[in-house]
Structure 1
Amino acid sequence: MPAPEMRFPASHCRVLSIAAPERKVTIIHATNTALVAWAPSYLAEALGFYHDEGFAIERVSSGSGPASVTALISGSGTSVLNPPGELLVAVARGLGLKIIMAQANYQTLHLVISKQFAERHWVAEGMPIRERLAAAQNFKGFRCGITAPGSSTDYAARAAFKSAGLDPVADVQILPLGSTPSALAAMRNGNIDGFTAASPAPEMAKLQFGAMIYFSVGRDEIPGFKPMAGQVVGVRNADIEKGPDLYAALVRADVKAMRYIIQEPRAAGETLQKARYE
C-alpha cells in the first residue's frame, strides 16, 4: 500500500539557506574621535555596503597618525584610514605599505585659535588672509596643540606658522596632546591658545567656546596641504597580494558610499549624524 501523500500549507514552508560567514575587517583609525573625513567608511558600514560584501567591521584607535601606520605595519589591522603624509613616508622608506584609494580631494585641517587669544590680538572672523598673516607675526609664544609629533596636525601647524614668518621651533610652543578631545579640553581650560585638527573639532571649538578658525586647508591658507589628497586607505603589500578580492570589495563598498554622499547629501548627512554623532 503506498504511503499517504502529505501536504503542508505554503505558509508553513521555509526555504533554509546557510549564509557565508562574514569576514572580519579591522580598520585602524588615528583617533577615537569620529572625523567627518571618515564619512565614506562610516556610511559604508551604516548603509550595509560592507555587509553586502561579506564584511564584519571592527574599528580600533591607535591614538595618532604615526601610531596608526605603525599598527598597520605590525599587522594589527586590515587597513588604515589616515592622512597621506605618514603613509607616503612609510612607502618611501620601503616599509611594505601601499595606498589603494583616496576618499577626499584634500584634508579638512584647520588651525583654530581661542576667543580670548583672538580678542587680545584684535583679530576676528572675516579678516582677509593678508591681514591675518600680518597679525600672526605677533603670535610669538603661541601654545598650539597637536595630536602627536610627526602627525598631519603637527606638519600643518608648522607650515601655518612658517607662512606667517614665525619659527615653529623658536617662536611657538607645539604641544602634543594625544587627541582632539584633549585639545578641546585644553582650550576650554585655557591651557592652550589654539590647536590644529580635522573637522569636526575646530567647528566644535567655534560653537562651544567662540573660537576662531584662523587658517584652513579648505581655503588654501596652509601652504602645501590643499594639493594633497584627504584621508586615504593604506594596506600592507603582502596582504593585498595574498587577498586582492577582499581589498577590491573594500574599495567597492567605500566607492558606493562616496557616490551616495554626492547623490544624496542630505540623507547621507542625516545617516552619518545618527550613526556617529548621537
Structure 2
Amino acid sequence: MPRLVFCATTIALVCLSAAAFAHTVTVSAGSQLGVTINSVDPVVVLGDSAAVRGKVMLTASAPMPDGVKAVVLDGVVKLMTDAALPEYTLDTSTLSDGMHEVRIDAADGGLLLASTGAVALHVYNASHDALFRQAPTVTPSFFKLQRKVVLREIAWFNNREGDLEKHGFIRNGRVYITLTDLMRHIGGGIIWGPKSNYIEVHRNNMVVRVIPGSSRIYVDGNARSLGHSAIRMENRTYVPLRPMCELFGIGVDWNHINNRAFVSFAG
C-alpha cells in the first residue's frame, strides 16, 4: 500500500465560513473524491481543473475516512486535521499566477486511506479578466410550491385526534364518520358480507345491526332509531357519531369554537 509522509511545515488555517462564499464548484482528477472550491469570486471549471482568484475555501467533496487529513498545496502540507471534511482557506493572491496543484489526503499512521488526487488550480489574479467575466453567475433554482390546507379531523377520542381512514363531515347538524373508524377507536368488532343488507357491530356483549340508508337499527334484536340515517358512500358506511356512541354509553361533547366532537370513554 502507498504510504503518506507529511512534510514538516508551519500549518495555518484561516477561519472563514462557507456561507460567505457565493460560488461553489467541485473538481475531480478522476478519483471518487473531488475537491470542492468555495469562492466569493467566480470559479471557472476547465475540465478536471479550475481557474480561481481571490480567497477560496478548499474541502473534500464528501466525508473522508477516520484518520489524519492533510491539505497539500504544491507538495507542501498546509493543513492537518482529524475533521471528516477538512476546510482550508487559501488566499491565492499569495501565489504566483499560473498553475498550482492541490490534493486532500486521509491517512492512518502513515498509511494512505483516501485521496482526492492532485487537482490543478489555475490562479489568475492579475490576468484573464475576460475568462472570469464569462463565468456563469449564480442563479437561484426555480421552485413552485402549493400551500396545502392541513385538515384536522372532526372527531377526537379521549382528547386525541382521531386517526380516520376517511375524513368526517357534518350533515343535517350531525357529525358523521365511518363505522369502521368509530369501532376501531372505541373497540369492538364488525361483521359484514356482500349478501347482507346490514352490518353487525359487536361491543361488550351488545349486538347492533346498522342498515345503510336507514335510521333504523336493531339493538340485541330490538328495533330502535338513530334519528338520522346511516349513509353509504365510496364503499364506506358512515354513521351519526353521537347517537351511535350513546348506544354504548359513550359521551360525545361538541366544541363550537373548534368544530370538533370529543368522544370520551373508559379504556
Larger Rg: 2
TM-score by length of 2: 0.19
**Higher share in helix:** 1
The TM-score with structure 1 as length reference comes to 0.18
Q: Quick check: which one's strand share is greater?
A: 2
| Greater relative contact order (CA < 8 Å, ≥ 6 in sequence) | 1
